[in-house]
Amino acid sequence: METTYLVTGGAGFIGSNFILYLLAHHENIRIINVDKLTYAGNLANLASVESDDRYMFRRMDICDRSAVRDLFFEFDIDYVVNFAAESHVDRSINDPEIFVRTNVLGTVSLLDAAREAWRVGDDKYGDRRFLQVSTDEVYGSLGPSGFFSEDTPLDPHSPYSASKASADLLVKAYGDTYNFPVLITRCSNNYGPFQFPEKLIPLMINNALHHKHLPVYGDGLNVRDWLYVEDHCKAIDMVLSNGVVGEVYNVGGHNERTNIFIVEKIVEECSKAIGDAEISKSLIEYVPDRKGHDRRYGIDPKKINDDLGWWPETNFEEGIVKTIQWYIENRAWVKQITSGEYQNNYVQQYDQEKIV
């Protein structure tokens, strides 16, 4: 029998990678991609599958409760995978409200529509699943040692992570209150193709390739746990098929790196890839730290390893070279989106036009 996925935010970075992953790994599926197409949504990411019969796109705001409700009655949806979100911490510091709207109220709109549509019949929810794509940032910041486990208390610091933690709590509450079939994944920082160049890795690659300054927050020693996006997609696929309803699964690859290590690595690999000696560490420029900048994130992926057999297939050294190569080969994609609103936000963010 065909499985129908509702993927929200499927024109964004991870959502589009997930749709490509599903289509490459499953035959008997139908995917409905629902996306508002904010500055971060880009249908060009999915150009290669536009004519695939298993895939369709609907432009929609997940906060539009009546449109979302209609969608659930129009299609018999088996799995909801909720990627749709405002996702950039810096933007959340400048304008928290839209984060609450999309990340919290949008999630509730989906939960309500799914609950209403899926309650039909004696079978209750059957094999249906609602998977909330969350982040390790909900756990707050770590000191120099230790890792986040699924039992780590939520302690978000930025408006972004607070909105994601709020959504997680509502998803859990629907599970507890209505016996609704929820799953939550909390993943570490992703990198790979199709990531909007406001985030650290594509921003640095793009700037390096154009000999622009490489702005590094604070002392550059903040630590993030980097995961190649395809490994995140694999984890979500496995949690949907075999995860235990009501559970949280942390996703991370024990790949902790300081920001300055990442930037220096990008300088080295970009310079090598296009044989350009002008791409050098002299482009690096330290800028005032982000407000409330979490010092360190690190995931303990033991549960998803042990219970579902997930492990990351792409190590960082391989993944970063693949990613740089992708950005070199897809300069037109980058050019198409690095204009207008993004440029304005970038100047505001780092407050120094010279680095643009």
Which residues contact ligand NAD by CB under 6 A?
8-9, 11-15, 35-38, 40-41, 61-63, 83-87, 102, 106, 133, 135, 164, 187, 189-190, 196
Q: Which of 21, 79, 139, 160 is catalytic?
A: 160
Q: Is 137 a catalytic residue?
A: yes
SS3 (DSSP) at 258: strand
| Min dist. Cβ of residue 247 to ligand NAD (A) | 17
Q: Which of 35, 61, 86, 137 is catalytic?
A: 137
| Min dist. Cβ of residue 27 to ligand NAD (A) | 25
DSSP 244: P
Contact 55/10 with Cβ under 8 angstroms?
Answer: no
SS3 (DSSP) at 66: helix
273: enclosing H helix or E strand = helix 259-274
Spatial CA neighbour of 250 closest among 145, 169, 149, 147? 149
**8 vs 314, beta carbon nearer ligand NAD:** 8
| Min dist. Cβ of residue 224 to ligand NAD (A) | 9
**Exposed/middle/buried for 298, CB within 10 Å: 0-12, 13-18, 19+?**
buried
d(CA 188, CA 114): 27
**102 vs 207, beta carbon nearer ligand NAD:** 102
**133 vs 205, beta carbon nearer ligand NAD:** 133
**91 vs 265, beta carbon nearer ligand NAD:** 91
**169 vs 271, beta carbon nearer ligand NAD:** 169
What are the backbone angles phi and psi of residue 63, rounded to the nearest 5°? -80, -10
The residue behind tokens 């035959």 is 27
| Min dist. Cβ of residue 187 to ligand NAD (A) | 4
Cβ-proximal residues to 57 (8 Å cutoff; 6+ apart), any chain: 10, 11, 32, 33, 34, 35, 43, 46
Q: Is 342 a catalytic residue?
A: no
**126 vs 292, beta carbon nearer ligand NAD:** 292
d(CA 50, CA 129): 26
d(CA 156, CA 137): 6
| Min dist. Cβ of residue 268 to ligand NAD (A) | 23
**Bridge partners of 223?**
258, 296
d(CA 154, CA 15): 24
SS3 (DSSP) at 125: coil
| Min dist. Cβ of residue 288 to ligand NAD (A) | 23
Q: What is the distance, to the nearest Å, from the Cα of residue 261 to the centroid of all Cα atoms in its chain?
A: 22
Q: Is 297 a catalytic residue?
A: no
| Residue 218, both tokens | 């604070």
| Min dist. Cβ of residue 235 to ligand NAD (A) | 11
Nearest residue to the partner ligand NAD, using Cβ: 12
**8 vs 255, beta carbon nearer ligand NAD:** 8
- Other Cβ atoms within 10 Å of 299 Cβ, number: 27
SS3 (DSSP) at 351: coil
Would you please indicate which residues are annotated as catalytic (active-site) residues? 136-137, 160
